[in-house]
Amino acid sequence: MPNSTEVRAPDPDRAPVRVLLVVAEPMVRLQLRRLISGRPEFEVAGTVRSEAEIEGAVAETRSSVVLVDGRDARTGAAAAIRLAARCGLRGVLLQEDRASLGANSLPCPTNLAAEEPGGAFMQQLAGLLRVPASASAPAARLAPARPGFRPELIAIGSSTGGPQALTELVRALAGRRPSVPVLLTQHMPSTFTAMLADQLSRCGFPAVEATDGMPLQPGRIHVAPGGSHLLVRRDGDRLVCVLDDGPPENFCRPAVDPMLRAANRVANGRVLAVILTGMGSDGLLGCQGLVAAGGVVLAQDEATSVVWGMPGAVARAGLCHAVLPLSAMADAVARLATGGLS
């Protein structure tokens, strides 16, 4: 008998969350596909059998979240969750019972065939799979920047949940692109950074995977390629990209801190840093130096972040000009980029 719990109606302004299943057992794949596809806010983007297949599948399916059957040793669950995070995606784990549950884990019923899309299990799973939407927010209330502040560069850092947040931010900025170059470091393997640049370009804001010596262009996003830190230097009267293969920082390459240090150095503090959702504290040290030199930092708030690690670190350190929901971030960036809050 189908459970009578109401299935959540889709938000017409949000595309369905694309779920990649990492499930070794065919019958489990079949039942999870049935349950997830039965909810209009989700779609199954693809299925793989183990963590070894995730990287290629994420690139092909443009998934938003990875669901792993942690009950089956064949899936390589721990490695699968780590790889999902490296790809900037939320990883959700199905477990045997509550004893071993983490924040993004859920006990899986023994008989999935008896479950329904509107049932209690799927209601709980939907809450974990759903990429947080930005809460509606009033116009951003920002303190004035230092007198005369107008950035020469905008530098964005993000990690887990970043691709979705970046898409929303860039789409909102597309109609009023800042007339300064934008640097972007998203924690992501090299397989995906060119794809990310292409995805952002389709949102109406020109983006390109950076190459060594590439001149920075106003109104264009320069994406750090996987495997290299993205730095910047002056070459006469222009700024150019520098790719650095030095050691990882904060366990990452590319990392946000070296990008911010380089931006701060060439622009003498005239940098607007935007720290979006992500695990860890990458960006904290770079923001400290930036603020000391007169730069401005915006951070995404906890409610709209998939993981409030990176933005939370700069917020707790007292470095932020403002901590904002994602829905208010584009307006704040546009206003600061034009000196509207000097």
pLDDT digits (tens, 9 = 90+) for 230-240: 999 999 989 99
Instruction: Based on the fold, state whether residues 158 and 73 are members of the same structural domain.
Output: no
Q: Which of 158, 187, 281, 301 is catalytic?
A: 187
Instruction: Based on the fold, state whether residues 102 and 192 are members of the same structural domain.
Output: no
Instruction: Based on the fold, state whether residues 320 and 173 are members of the same structural domain.
Output: yes
Q: Find the mean pLDDT for residues 275-296.
A: 93
pTM of the model: 0.70
Residue 12 pLDDT grade (very low, low, confident, very high; cuts 50, 70, 90): very low
Does the annotation mark 159 as catalytic? yes
Instruction: Based on the fold, state whether residues 115 and 159 are members of the same structural domain.
Output: no
Does the annotation mark 97 as catalytic? no
Instruction: Estimate the crossing angle of helix 162-173 against helix 190-201, to 10 degrees.
Output: 30
Supply the range of the domain harboring residue 249. 153-337
Residue 138 pLDDT grade (very low, low, confident, very high; cuts 50, 70, 90): very low
Q: Which of 50, 158, 257, 282 is catalytic?
A: 282
| Structural domain contains residue 144 | no
| Structural domain contains residue 136 | no
The set of residues, in sequence order, having a beta carbon less than 8 Å from that of 138 and lying 6+ positions away, is 328
| Structural domain contains residue 332 | yes
pLDDT for residue 191: 85
| Structural domain contains residue 168 | yes
User: Which amino acid is located at 137 in the chain?
Assistant: A
**Residue linked to tokens 């995070």:** 85
Tell me the CATH number at 200.
3.40.50.180
Q: Which of 134, 159, 228, 281 is catalytic?
A: 159
pLDDT for residue 136: 39
The set of residues, in sequence order, having a beta carbon less than 8 Å from that of 262 and lying 6+ positions away, is 231, 232, 233, 242
Nearest-angstrom CA–CA distance, 311 and 298: 8
Domain count, the chain: 2
| Structural domain contains residue 172 | yes
| Structural domain contains residue 141 | no
Tens of pLDDT, residues 70-103 = 889 988 888 888 888 777 777 888 988 655 556 6
Q: Which one of 94, 129, 164 terminates a domain? A: 129
| Residue pair 277/308 in contact by the 8 Å Cβ criterion | yes
pLDDT for residue 10: 47
- In a 10 Å sphere around its CB, with 0-12 CB exposed, 13-18 middle and 19+ buried, how is residue 27 labelled? exposed
Average per-residue pLDDT for the chain: 86
Nearest-angstrom CA–CA distance, 283 and 20: 29
Tell me the CATH number at 63.
3.40.50.2300
Give the HSE-up count for residue 225: Cα atoms under 13 Å, Cβ half-sphere: 16
pLDDT for residue 2: 38
**Residue linked to tokens 């004035």:** 144
| Residue pair 21/67 in contact by the 8 Å Cβ criterion | yes
Does the annotation mark 331 as catalytic? no
| The pLDDT of residue 17 is above 90 | no
Tens of pLDDT, residues 183-215 = 999 999 888 999 999 999 999 999 999 999 999
Number of separate helices (H) and strands (E) present in the chain: 10, 14
